[in-house]
Structure 1
Amino acid sequence: MTQTDVLSDRPSLTDRIGIPRPLLWGFVGLLLFMIGDGVEAGYLAPYLENHGQSARDVAFLFTVYGVAVSIASWLSGPLSDLWGPKRVMWIGLAIWSVFEVAFLVMGLQVASFPMMVAAYTLRGLGYPLFAYGFLVWIAAATPPRQLGSAAGWFWFAFSGGLPTLGSLFASFSIPVIGELATFWSSLGLVVAGGLVALLLTREPTGATRLAPQHVSVKGIFFGSLSILWREPKTFVAMIVRTIDTASEYAFLVIMPSFFMKVVGFTLSQWLQLLSIVFLSNILFNLVSGMLADRLGHRTVVSIAGCLGAAISVPVFYYVPMAYHGNFLVASLAGIFYGATVAAFVPLSGLVPQICPKEKAAALSALGLGAGASTWVGPAIVTWFEGWHGIEGIIWIFSGLYAFAGILTLYLSVPDHAREAASTPQRKDRRADRNTDGMYGETPVLH
């Protein structure tokens, strides 16, 4: 063996830190795309309220948008099986771009609430197809030994953009170019990120249909639903995943007003606080993924995630209120909250282990939970804000995290799954994916 051969066999830096090298530009593009998607996250609600919409209308807008996100999150799996993840990502990019223009031109600029609801809801189909299509691509093309770290990097890029860097971008751009122009700038970031990911990522797996050719369209779509009752642990994981980020989407509705009217922050301070919260989140996305490889996926989710979030949610409410106007104290409370929500990341590595022959279908269930959180959070605000106001909502979410901790006790890897996972893998992963064993009797994906 020559010295060149030896060097070529050494893992690259990206491989050593857990990023599959052929997918590197996909991660970069995903980050840019999600920055664009997250630009509006921290200030769309107060913008609409300041321009004549009621808090209830805003919560309704976010709820129906979340329903669309939930549907698209599930569809990203079976559509990737059918057409390949790369084509699904192209569709997501196109949908986001077209309906963002419609939302701004026919909704926001003319103050037409019905058009806002229609365009924003349809735009909600876009980012899950792009982002979760890429997650399917990662699951299909990444070696099992690297899957946990790769999932951590996916969520690092995802939440690094939405809303961390997106909100930070808005906090600096709004004083310079104004709120409406900042909305338009998000379109440029999304298009740039989409093109980087799709034009520069050449890994071949994502460009082809993932399901075997003999599997029907009906079989693909039905399989991604039937796994919820064929393997009940995927259903439990879906519920836990829904609870995970439901509070985030609820907080995007209620916390801007709380921090600006009760705690005494300016809009820029709130956006910067939001960026700090989710900077903590993206850093601990990586930490929790690495810890899961050492301590166990379920252990990290149940203790650091569920128990931690049950504590951090009320801390994020009561501590800033007790230290009125103190940005440092609010930031520390927010960092704690962001870290605990990040501790749910190992679910993306745990679920494929529970169903090693149907990884795509299992991840589709998880995607459905992730999408559901985008409407469950605002819906809880809509239904219960009149009960005990924000304080009541805070304790609802704290209780939900405690309930999720109980559910995680059921998420052990069954013996038959361990045996399947220990079976030696073929070197040619693409050939492996074209066997029935990847999909079980009912093939599916995401």
Structure 2
Amino acid sequence: MENINKQWLGLPLSLIWGYVAIAIFMTGDGFEMAFLSHYIKELGFSPAQSSLVFTVYGFAAALAAWVSGVLAEIITPQKTMLIGFLMWCIFHVLFLTFGLGQKNYSLILLFYGIRGLAYPLFLYSFIVIIVHNVKDSSVSSALGWFWAVYSVGIGVAGSYIPSLTIPHLGGLGTLWLALLFCGVGGVIAMVSMRKVSVPKHLGTTKEKFTELSRAVTLFYTNRKILYASIVRIINTLSLFGFPVIMPLMFIDELGFTMAEWLKVWTVFFATTIFFNIFWGIVSEKMGWMRVVRWFGCIGMAVSSFAFYYIPQHFGNNFYIALIPAVSLGIFVAAFVPMTAVFPALEPKHKGAAISAYNLSAGLSNFLAPAIAVILLPSFNIIGVVIAYTSLYIIAFFVSYLIEVEQPGFENNKRIAAKCVMSQI
């Protein structure tokens, strides 16, 4: 445990190469995030058809996210990450070759949807490694770093690099380049994580499937898990929904170039890097749910609304558009403690709790574009933004139903109270 407990500002040094692997892999996975919806539209498909592609992808991601936590404990996280890595590479090639390359909408849906199964297996299995290799009182900080490197990959590098390559390689060429990053990240993960130990879930086949199903049954056997799931689903609606709908506003309506839009989205994710770590540390002192409630829910309600209305008011002004992007980045990171809340609510079944968390994250990936598919034809972009904003306000009230025992938090409050009393 001595090596496991070595940290730098909450970063577990024994897992540092795993964090590096996540950053590089998610860079490749993130190449498409902010421009693929507009690229599909340029191929001749409607905005609703483009949104449906992401809805199918999100459904597959939700399914894979559900099984990832328990599967990682049954066959080891390393094997689950390997499966995700290989699936991503294979179906990415099929997606580019026969889907986008042939402008075949059915194959775009099929191969991109199947590829959606891949990244959650790779990404969320690493959460299992973190939870089992970091002491409980430091999990929030370690997961803050996890989401920080996730943001470095999928958001910062994943958005900024395409802004440089699209003018030279085009959209399809940039997507082929993504394969290189995912390949490098996958290899680093396989090499660096091979000796990391995680308790393996032993038992009969029936017991293993029971543990897998528990990730769903927890929603009604543990009502607090259900409430936490609702908050987690709402958490990233703007993160997954805005890349689908906002290029239509910024590029087609306001006249931003693709490179400018990608840089706005890069600034959003760049902001989350620091604040993922910041809120992870602050929440251990201030309280997980207090940070989620006041800075996550309320902050995202205001920021999501501002991300639409500030550019609408000021028009094609790149620097003004960065203001709501920074705000969005600050407050979406305030949901970081939710990753620690789930296993704390079900300490005897951490794998199932993590799978419940991952399923909620995947459902967010599914529902964000699904809401767009439903509302875009009748209510345009503003209707989608209002829906997201309203749901963040609902999450604020739901958060009061989540009572979780935070390791070390009550002791810290008692110590602080004693210090205050000693000064009186």
Q: How high is the TM-score relative to the length of structure 2?
A: 0.92
In structure 2, distance between residues paired with 1:32 and 1:412? 36
Q: CA deviation at 1:210?
A: 2.2
Q: What letter is aligned with 1:323?
A: F
Q: CA deviation at 1:126?
A: 0.5
Does the 8 A contact of 1:59 with 1:382 survive in 2? yes
- Residue in 2 that maps onto 1:204: 196
Is 1:106 aligned with 2:76? no
Which of 395, 406, 416 aligns to 1:404? It is 395
Q: CA deviation at 1:408?
A: 0.5
Does the 8 A contact of 2:224 with 2:401 survive in 1? yes
- Residue in 1 that maps onto 2:287: 296
- Residue in 2 that maps onto 1:230: 221
- Residue in 1 that maps onto 2:239: 248
Is 1:15 aligned with 2:27? no
In structure 2, distance between residues paired with 1:354 and 1:31? 28
Does the 8 A contact of 2:48 with 2:377 survive in 1? no
Unaligned runs of 5+ in 1: 1-7, 423-446
For residues 340-376 of structure 1, what are the alpha-carbon distances to aligned partners after superposition, in whole Å with 9 as ceiling and x for unaligned? 1111111112222222222222121111110011110
In structure 1, distance between residues paired with 2:325 and 2:407? 38
In structure 1, distance between residues paired with 2:377 and 2:176? 34
Does the 8 A contact of 1:22 with 1:202 survive in 2? no
Unaligned runs of 5+ in 2: 412-424
How many residue pairs get matched? 409
For residues 84-123 of structure 1, what are the alpha-carbon distances to aligned partners after superposition, in whole Å with 9 as ceiling and x for unaligned? 1110000000100000000011111111111111000000
Q: CA deviation at 1:38?
A: 0.3
- Residue in 2 that maps onto 1:425: none
SS at match of 2:348: coil
Larger mean CA deviation between 240-249 and 265-274 belongs to 240-249
- Residue in 2 that maps onto 1:284: 275
In structure 2, distance between residues paired with 1:341 and 1:124? 23
For residues 211-230 of structure 1, what are the alpha-carbon distances to aligned partners after superposition, in whole Å with 9 as ceiling and x for unaligned? 13467222221222222212
- Residue in 2 that maps onto 1:180: 172
In structure 1, distance between residues paired with 2:211 and 2:403? 26
Correspondence 1:150-169 to 2 at 5 A: 150-169=142-161
Correspondence 1:33-182 to 2 at 5 A: 33-182=25-174
Is 1:262 aligned with 2:256? no
Q: CA deviation at 1:202?
A: 4.2
Is 1:28 aligned with 2:23? no
In structure 2, distance between residues paired with 1:407 and 1:259? 33
Does the 8 A contact of 1:81 with 1:220 survive in 2? no
For residues 218-266 of structure 1, what are the alpha-carbon distances to aligned partners after superposition, in whole Å with 9 as ceiling and x for unaligned? 2221222222212111111111111111222211111001011222210
Q: CA deviation at 1:80?
A: 1.0
Does the 8 A contact of 1:60 with 1:378 survive in 2? yes
In structure 1, distance between residues paired with 2:20 and 2:2? 25
In structure 2, distance between residues paired with 1:297 and 1:74? 23
Q: 1:385 to 1:111 in 2, by over 3 A?
A: same
Is 1:360 aligned with 2:351? yes
Runs of 4+ in 1 over 4 A off after TM superposition: 8-12
Identity across the alignment (%): 34
Q: What letter is aligned with 2:385?
A: I
Does the 8 A contact of 1:22 with 1:203 survive in 2? no
Q: RMSD of aligned C-alpha atoms? A: 2.0
Q: CA deviation at 1:10?
A: 9.5
Q: CA deviation at 1:300?
A: 0.3
Correspondence 1:358-437 to 2 at 5 A: 358-413=349-404
For residues 110-167 of structure 1, what are the alpha-carbon distances to aligned partners after superposition, in whole Å with 9 as ceiling and x for unaligned? 1111111100000000000000011111112211122111110111111221132101
Does the 8 A contact of 2:4 with 2:134 survive in 1? no
- Residue in 2 that maps onto 1:328: 319
In structure 1, distance between residues paired with 2:301 and 2:73? 37
In structure 2, distance between residues paired with 1:222 and 1:35? 32
